């Protein structure tokens, strides 16, 4: 299973590195001076991964490369892999310049980091065993069963809230894992009955490797589509990145560049993931 997910580009490692030197208030100046932007990722294909050779790969790195080109900034992207729940602490402590991954721009997180405009929409999916033998089509169907997600996501609280609504004696046994592929492994092994994970990551992993032994529950409708707005995030003190990035990204959306990037990485239907 681990090897299969590695092929799917979902290998997560824990690492941190120092980001560019300079004032945390002016990330754009730091990037120009150091000719590098260090991004943090939890290795979520197709959004953002680190290749075996250390290259930043995926939709977010491609967006950033196009942004740097249009902003006339001569800089390369260095990607650092780490667990999802390490991303905000790492950008807050300036160990990385930017969270370059799929992360919801919530009000709570905005107290800790500075977000750009929404760059894509990415709701949760309900992942179950292949063939869905237990007929799990909603989070409520996990009452009396084992439900899971991974650390740092908003779905931890969603599962706990759903558990609180279950009939007496039929609470959801909520399991929280470090990585998305650990969740999938335990679904396949029968230790988890259903899990809330990133819909695009699940779909991409299944396209890359149909033999994972899991599937997306076909009738599941995410109740959080309107809240699944993903953005780039910088140190809370930064005052320059979002104001530089946002208008350029608007132009990239308008001229179809973002849609082409999504299409290249197999995200279809494209409109499902474009900012609303």
Please name which of 214, 222, 174, 219 lies closest in space to residue 198, comparing C-alpha atoms: 222
Residue 1 lies in a domain: no
Same domain (yes/no): 60, 189: no
Same domain (yes/no): 233, 112: yes
pLDDT in tens, the chain (276 residues): 333 333 334 333 334 444 556 788 999 999 999 999 999 999 988 999 999 888 999 999 999 999 999 999 999 999 999 999 999 999 999 999 999 998 989 999 999 999 999 999 888 889 999 999 999 999 999 999 999 999 988 899 999 999 999 999 999 999 999 988 899 999 999 999 999 998 787 878 887 888 899 998 988 878 877 778 999 999 999 999 999 999 999 999 999 999 999 989 877 668 778 887
Same domain (yes/no): 107, 14: yes
Burial class of residue 67 (count of CB atoms within 10 Å of its CB; 0-12, 13-18, 19+): buried
Same domain (yes/no): 134, 186: yes
Same domain (yes/no): 142, 201: yes
Cis geometry, peptide bond prior to residue 100 (ω within 30 degrees of 0): no
The two tokens of residue 9 are 């580009």
> Coil, strand, or helix at residue 29?
helix
Residue 109 lies in a domain: yes
What is the C-alpha to C-alpha distance for residues 10 and 45, in angstroms, rounded to an integer? 6
- Is the Cα torsion angle 61, 123, 271, 11 positive or negative in sign? positive
Rounded to two decimals, the pTM is 0.70
Helices and strands: H and E segment counts in the chain:
9, 14
Residue 133 lies in a domain: yes
Phi, psi (deg, nearest 5) at residue 257: -65, -45
Same domain (yes/no): 41, 158: no
What is the full DSSP assignment across 138-188? SGGGGTTSEEEEETT-THHHHHHHHHHTSPTT---EEEEESSHHHHHHHHH
Residue 239 lies in a domain: yes
Hey, which residues does 195 pair with through a beta bridge?
127, 148
Residue 3 lies in a domain: no
Cα torsion for 79, 82, 86, 92, to the nearest 10°? -20
């Amino acid at each position: 299973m681990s090897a299969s997910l590695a092929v799917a580009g979902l290998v997560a490692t824990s690492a941190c590195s120092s980001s560019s030197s300079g004032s945390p208030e002016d990330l754009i100046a730091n990037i120009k001076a150091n000719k590098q932007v260090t991004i943090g990722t939890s290795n979520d294909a197709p959004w953002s991964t680190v290749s075996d050779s250390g290259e930043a790969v995926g939709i977010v790195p491609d967006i950033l490369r196009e942004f740097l080109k249009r902003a006339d900034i001569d800089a390369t992207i260095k990607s650092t892999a780490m667990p999802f729940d390490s991303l905000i602490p790492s950008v807050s402590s300036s160990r990385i310049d930017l969270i370059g991954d799929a992360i919801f721009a919530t009000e709570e997180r905005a107290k800790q980091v500075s977000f750009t405009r929404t760059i894509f929409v990415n709701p949760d999916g309900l992942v179950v065993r292949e063939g869905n033998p237990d007929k799990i089509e909603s989070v409520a169907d996990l009452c009396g069963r084992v439900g899971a997600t991974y650390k740092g996501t908003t779905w931890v609280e969603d599962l706990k809230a759903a558990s609180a609504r279950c009939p007496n004696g039929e609470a959801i046994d909520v399991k929280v894992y470090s990585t998305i592929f650990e969740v999938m492994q335990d679904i396949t092994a029968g230790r988890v009955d259903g899990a809330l994970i990133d819909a695009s990551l699940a779909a991409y992993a299944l396209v890359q490797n149909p033999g994972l032994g899991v599937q997306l529950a076909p009738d599941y409708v995410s109740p959080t589509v309107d809240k699944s707005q993903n953005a780039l995030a910088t140190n809370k003190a930064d005052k320059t990145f979002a104001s530089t990035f946002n208008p350029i990204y608007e132009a990239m959306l308008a001229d179809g560049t973002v849609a082409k990037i999504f299409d290249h990485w197999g995200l279809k239907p494209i409109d499902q993931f474009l900012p609303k």
